[in-house]
Amino acid sequence: MLYIEPVPISKRVSISDIVIEVTRRCNMNCCHCMRGEPQNIDMDLNYVRALFKQIDMISNITLSGGEPSLVPHILTSIIDIAKEEEVEIDSFYIATNAKVVTDEFMKALIKWWLFCRDNGSVAISSDDYHENIDEDNIRKLEAFRFVEKRNEDCHYNHGQGLIYEGRAAEYFAASHIMELKEIDYE
């Protein structure tokens, strides 16, 4: 069990941006994924509590993965911990591949929207490399005004603009470097 000495609220820090990877699991297998192969690991909430004990305010929190829709219980538990540890959060950001949209995930999104003072946004990842998404799932999510489909016109230009880590490194880095070498700079 992780234990970190609680810090008095007056000595806690404010954070402008923080990213918490809520799970390493994913239900897609995109070739441009910077995360690499998925792992059957979810965020241990003890770490979130230990982290929040040091913080009094977060401007923006990104809840990333893996695929966050697979762990709605973790998404809601992070709000519970923030309340218990008196951490104020201005806004949130979640990107989902929308392959699975459960009621629990929808409820978790509503809870985040209600919890954050300036609210936040949810992006549905959609580009050449993600699997096609069930239109019903998109309709369900887009019923919320804070949900948007993103990257619709993004085709990554043969890998340029990607972060070359994980599978993106394996699939695109070599060809990208070759393309750069072929550019005539004179």
In angstroms, rounded to a whole number, what is the distance separating the alpha carbons of residues 36 and 24? Answer: 10
State yes or no: residue 28 binds ligand SF4 (CB under 6 A): yes
State the nearest-atom distance from the C-beta of 97 to ligand SF4, in Å. 4
In angstroms, rounded to a whole number, what is the distance separating the alpha carbons of residues 18 and 30? Answer: 24
State the nearest-atom distance from the C-beta of 36 to ligand SF4, in Å. 9
State yes or no: residue 65 binds ligand SF4 (CB under 6 A): yes
78 vs 168, which CB is nearer to ligand SF4?
168
State yes or no: residue 97 binds ligand SF4 (CB under 6 A): yes
35 vs 53, which CB is nearer to ligand SF4?
35
* C-alpha distance from residue 113 to each of 68, 80, 109, 135, 154 (Å): 15, 14, 6, 23, 27
State yes or no: residue 33 binds ligand SF4 (CB under 6 A): yes
Which of 53, 60, 66, 159: binder of ligand SF4 (CB under 6 A)?
Answer: 66
Which of 52, 67, 105, 162: binder of ligand SF4 (CB under 6 A)?
Answer: 67
- The b/e string for 170-186 (b: 16+ C-beta within 10 A; e otherwise) is ebbeeebeeeeeeeeee
Which residues make Cβ contacts (< 8 Å) with residue 158, sequence separation at least 6?
172, 175, 176, 179
State yes or no: residue 120 binds ligand SF4 (CB under 6 A): no
* C-alpha distance from residue 164 to each of 18, 172, 179, 180, 182 (Å): 21, 7, 15, 14, 19
The tokens of 93 are what?
Answer: 């950001």
14 vs 157, which CB is nearer to ligand SF4?
157
Q: How many residues bind ligand SF4 (CB under 6 A)?
A: 11
Contact residues toward ligand SF4 (CB under 6 A) are 26, 28-30, 33, 35, 65-67, 97, 130
